[in-house]
């Protein structure tokens, strides 16, 4: 199960994910991200500190959003990757595709 909270800040939007990002939760995540990219949100920071597990469908939702953001010069950043989630990103060779920060505040300061 995945809980998705969002908050607007002057600098952009923060999505906080808590739980598991798998094939069951990914459609909800993708829908939320599509809504933000449809509105051409300039900056999205996704806080993954509460994510226990992410599978290929969750990664696909993030990669797709990253591509859409780049098309209109938006910025997608990730923060708070747990060791397990960071290992998945490294295994899939995605660490260079995303801006990854330790905290949401560090992401907005970058």
Domains, the chain, ordered by start: 2-109 (3.30.750.24)
Q: What is the mean pLDDT of residues 7-26?
A: 96
* Token reading at 66: 């990253």
pLDDT attached to residue 109: 95
pLDDT attached to residue 45: 98
pLDDT attached to residue 88: 96
Q: What is the mean pLDDT of residues 23-47?
A: 96
Nearest to 108 by CA among 24, 47, 55: 47
Q: What is the mean pLDDT of residues 7-13?
A: 94
DSSP 3-state assignment of 87? helix
pLDDT attached to residue 60: 97
The answer to whether 37 and 74 are in contact (CB under 8 A) is: yes
- How far is it, in rounded angstroms, from Cα 52 to Cα 66? 21
pLDDT attached to residue 74: 94
pLDDT tens-digit profile of 37-94?
Answer: 999 989 999 999 999 999 999 999 999 999 999 999 999 999 999 999 999 999 999 9
- The whole-model pTM stands at 0.94
Terminal-to-terminal C-alpha distance of the chain: 31
- How far is it, in rounded angstroms, from Cα 65 to Cα 87? 20
- How far is it, in rounded angstroms, from Cα 34 to Cα 108? 21
Binned at pLDDT 50, 70 and 90, residue 95 comes out as very high
- How far is it, in rounded angstroms, from Cα 102 to Cα 82? 9
- How far is it, in rounded angstroms, from Cα 103 to Cα 71? 25
């Amino acid at each position: 199960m995945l809980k998705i909270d969002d908050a607007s800040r002057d600098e952009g939007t923060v999505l906080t994910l808590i739980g598991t990002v798998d094939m069951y939760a990914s459609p909800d995540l993708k829908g939320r991200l599509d809504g933000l990219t449809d509105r051409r949100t300039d900056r999205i920071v996704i806080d993954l500190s509460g994510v226990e597990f992410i599978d290929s469908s969750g990664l696909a939702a993030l990669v797709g959003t990253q591509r859409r953001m780049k098309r209109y010069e938006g910025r997608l950043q990730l923060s708070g990757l747990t060791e397990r989630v960071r290992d998945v990103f490294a295994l899939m060779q995605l660490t260079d595709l995303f801006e990854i920060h330790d905290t949401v505040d560090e992401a907005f300061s970058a």
